[in-house]
Amino acid sequence: MKRVTIKDVARMAGVSYQTVSLVLNHPEMVADKTLKRVQEVIATLNFVPSMAARSMRAIRTNTLACVFFGERAAYDNRSFQIQDTYWNNVVQVLSRVADGHGYALMQRSQIGDDATAYACVRDLFLAGRVDGVVAVVERTGHPVLEQLQQAGLPFVVFGTRDPAFSYVAQNNQSVTADVVDHLHAEGCRRIAFIGGERDGHVNEDVEERHRGYLAAMGCHGLAEYAPWALNGDWSLASGHRIARQLCAGADRPDALIFASDRMALGALKGLHELGVSVPHEVSVVGFDNMHYDDYCIPPLSSVHSPVLEMAQASVQMLLDRILGADGQPLQRVFPAGLVVRDSSSRASLQPAG
């Protein structure tokens, strides 16, 4: 799509491009009637000044924004804070990395229709509040990102592999296959994968993990059992509920792979309440390798996410773009790895009883 330029605005408004520039930079110098007409055209064309032009004026806010698009369930109603520990960790690490480059980090959550979300992010740039955005989205081809790219605004996607944009991500598919291989080596054959969803939508990360699970199961001559193919909502409570639902009877899985540590931690409580021994009867593995994994009972096996490396790369990619680097989208995938603890290591434990 052709990017709207300042000359397009001038042509439609019937003024010179110098007048449009004054409207953008010194509106107090423009007659009210002309100002209103140009602003209406800017809104109609959805025009955003290019960052290249801002760079030429050496205007810097030294602030980046981490923007969550549609991450409604990342907050809870009790504390009004991000309760998803993984994304809380991402924000903190991004802030630390940005600070090392002399930048502050602003965090925003954009909930609502795409037009509203785009307008909010665009206004951050127009108001001179941020130089670039780290975008957290749950799907590829996000229309807000397409609009930001069309407008020439610098951003990088964190965690979702979208070939149209610059991104950093981890190898979700291959590492989930490694988890299945580990569980199979420990003697598990009835392995269930529990994904996560928000508002009925499963994000791209989970779909990649599920593909890795299916591929590895097939390599071992195993198949997914449809009644066990469930999704939690990333909460502790959903992991607790699903574990009790799947493991209350004799016809149960012998291993549960959860798409997050929070759900896996809830599952450990549910299995304890049922009197199911972990890992002798049911093994449990999570994702994210949070610090509390070492302190639950039993310690939780989990996939380590390379958050620091991804944060460092995303900030550097963003700063390069802010400083004028052009070209094809930069895309980097970092290796994640399984950290084996007692919740899935049957070979290292004595039989129960």
pLDDT at 4 over 90: no
Q: Which residue has the higher pLDDT, 116 or 335?
A: 335
d(C-alpha 157, C-alpha 66), whole Å = 10
Lowest mean pLDDT among 243-247, 283-287, 288-292: 288-292
Contact (CB, 8 A) for 209 and 231: no
pLDDT digits (tens, 9 = 90+) for 174-188: 999 999 999 999 999
> Do β-strands 337-339 and 301-304 pair in parallel, antiparallel, or remain unpaired?
antiparallel
Cis-peptide into 351, omega within 30 deg: no
**Confidence grade of residue 111 (pLDDT, cut at 50, 70, 90):** low
Query: What pLDDT shows up at residue 56?
Result: 38
Query: What pLDDT shows up at residue 268?
Result: 98
Lowest mean pLDDT among 14-28, 167-181, 225-239: 14-28
d(C-alpha 225, C-alpha 190), whole Å = 8
Q: Which residue has the higher pLDDT, 151 or 166?
A: 166
What's the token pair of residue 279?
């890992």
Q: What is the total residue count of the chain?
A: 353
How deeply is 200 buried, as exposed, middle or buried, from its count of CB atoms within 10 A (0-12, 13-18, 19+)? Answer: exposed
Q: Which residue has the higher pLDDT, 176 or 56?
A: 176
- Give the global pTM: 0.80
pLDDT at 278 over 80: yes
Contact (CB, 8 A) for 50 and 24: no
Lowest mean pLDDT among 23-32, 78-87, 297-306, 328-337: 78-87
d(C-alpha 278, C-alpha 295), whole Å = 15
Lowest mean pLDDT among 58-72, 247-261, 313-327: 58-72
Query: What pLDDT shows up at residue 327?
Result: 66
Q: How many CA atoms lie within 13 A of 342 on its CB side?
A: 13
pLDDT at 77 over 70: no
pLDDT at 55 over 80: no
Query: What pLDDT shows up at residue 58?
Result: 47
Residues of the chain above pLDDT 90, percent: 62
DSSP 302: E
